[in-house]
């Protein structure tokens, strides 16, 4: 079994377990801001029972790694908007004239866990995390309960789904592209693999519903309360969760049509447009035309994705279909946020 100190030294090892943010609450409750997604530097320090200065120094040393995993420094209008949306005791205790605020996603907090040496809480989380990883890798398949029982460990489902989506399916894609006489058989085999992946995803959602891990109402309410900046960060977190790398959130008020860029697990380039609108306001065709032009004509990405908290007008959907833009409306966004993977990212 890997020693917990290995996490302190290996960035690759840290990256391999960053999706296991649930381990934070198994060791100690992590209090979140009202948006249900972020914490401040003071809240991180309180969780790990260290001083704020310790967290600040760690952040300076590992800023690039932490920013990739959800840490952000808010200033100016972004800071004022975030404070307005998250008025609480946790923020009200800060000086009103502060110029910036550092916030962390749960993924970033887990990242801090694997960098913070002198915290007994961080050591407990690292040990617990590696114990779970070790158990997941060494548990014999014969010891698993039947597939029809809700006692099936959904961590194994997610691990298998991850392997299928990131290795097996891309391998079949490459074989199909290079094959001749066996092309039909390979396509049928790929379809069988994708059916298994979809079945595992449905099973995971069923387990989540039965255990009330992420109630649909809570997901919708959380998204509805987000600012446009928070919504873009939320979509970026979903991209990372689904295996994307090099995720960059531009977060600028200058409208160039593309809000997020990323790369899928199999190397395809991704451009995302995020539109945070009230549920009754449809995305117009003009917005879709601007994004399609930026994604296809200017940056020439492989996957163009338009995500909205509302719905698309008929004209906007027609433009998307014509320009090869994949659309995610309010209903699909809710399912994606609750744990379903986007087929376009597989």
What is the model's pLDDT at position 244?
A: 87
Q: Check pLDDT > 50 for residue 254.
A: yes
**Residue 9: which residues within 8 A CB-CB, separation 6 or more?**
none
pLDDT band at 225 (very low <50, low <70, confident <90, very high): confident
Q: Are residues 14 and 118 in the same domain?
A: yes
What is the per-residue burial (b if ≥16 Cβ within 10 Å, else e) of 275-285?
A: bbbeeeebbeb
CB 222 within 8 A of CB 38: no
Output the six-digit token pair for 296: 């296809």
Decide if 216 is inside a domain.
no
Q: Do 19 and 119 lie in a common domain?
A: yes
Cβ atoms within 10 Å of 149's Cβ, excluding its own: 8
Whether residue 90 contacts residue 33, with contact meaning beta carbons closer than 8 Å, is answered with yes
Res. 81: pLDDT tops 70: yes
Among 108, 133, 158, where does a domain finish? 133
Q: Mean pLDDT: which of 103-112, 217-226, 244-253 is highest?
A: 103-112
- Lookup result for tokens 């014509």: 322
CA atoms within 13 A on the CB side of 80: 3
Same-domain check for residues 237 and 331: yes
24 plus 127 within the same structural domain: yes
CA separation (Å) from 150 to 157, 193, 207, 257?
A: 12, 23, 6, 44
Residue 87 lies in a domain: yes
Inside any domain, residue 39: yes
CATH number assigned to the domain comprising residue 291? 3.40.1350.10
Judgement on whether residues 198 and 155 belong to the same structural domain of the protein: yes
User: How much is the pTM?
Assistant: 0.43
- Of 188, 211, 234, the position where a domain reaches its end is 211
Tally of domains within the chain: 3
Domain around 97: 6-133
Percentage of the residues of the chain whose pLDDT score is greater than 90? 22
């Amino acid at each position: 079994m890997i020693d917990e100190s290995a996490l302190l030294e290996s960035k690759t090892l840290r990256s391999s377990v960053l999706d296991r943010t649930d381990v934070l609450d198994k060791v100690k409750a992590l209090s979140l801001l009202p948006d249900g997604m972020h914490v401040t530097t003071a809240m991180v320090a309180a969780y790990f029972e260290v001083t704020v200065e310790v967290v600040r120094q760690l952040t300076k040393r590992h800023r690039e790694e932490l920013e990739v995993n959800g840490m952000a420094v808010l200033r100016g209008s972004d800071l004022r908007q975030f404070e307005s949306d998250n008025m609480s005791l946790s923020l009200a205790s800060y000086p009103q004239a502060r110029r910036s605020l550092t916030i962390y996603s749960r993924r970033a907090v887990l990242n801090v866990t694997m960098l913070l040496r002198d915290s007994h809480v961080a050591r407990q989380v690292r040990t617990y995390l590696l114990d779970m990883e070790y158990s997941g890798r060494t548990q014999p398949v014969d010891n698993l309960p039947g597939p029809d029982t809700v006692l099936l460990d959904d961590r194994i489902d997610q691990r298998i789904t991850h392997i299928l989506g990131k290795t097996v399916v891309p391998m079949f894609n490459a074989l199909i592209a290079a094959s001749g006489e066996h092309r039909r058989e390979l396509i049928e085999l790929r379809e069988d693999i994708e059916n298994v992946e979809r079945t595992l995803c449905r099973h995971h959602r069923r387990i989540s519903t039965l255990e009330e891990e992420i109630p649909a109402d809570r997901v919708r309410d959380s998204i509805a309360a987000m600012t446009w900046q928070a919504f873009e960060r939320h979509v970026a977190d979903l991209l990372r969760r689904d295996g994307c790398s090099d995720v960059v959130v531009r977060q600028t008020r200058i409208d160039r049509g593309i809000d997020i860029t990323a790369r899928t697990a199999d190397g395809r380039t991704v451009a995302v447009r995020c539109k945070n609108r009230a549920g009754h306001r449809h995305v117009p065709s003009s917005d879709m035309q601007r994004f399609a032009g930026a994604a296809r004509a200017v940056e020439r990405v492989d996957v163009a994705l338009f995500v909205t908290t509302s719905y698309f007008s008929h004209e906007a959907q027609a433009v998307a279909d014509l320009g090869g833009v994949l659309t995610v409306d309010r209903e699909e966004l809710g399912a994606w946020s609750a744990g379903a993977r986007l087929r376009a990212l597989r």
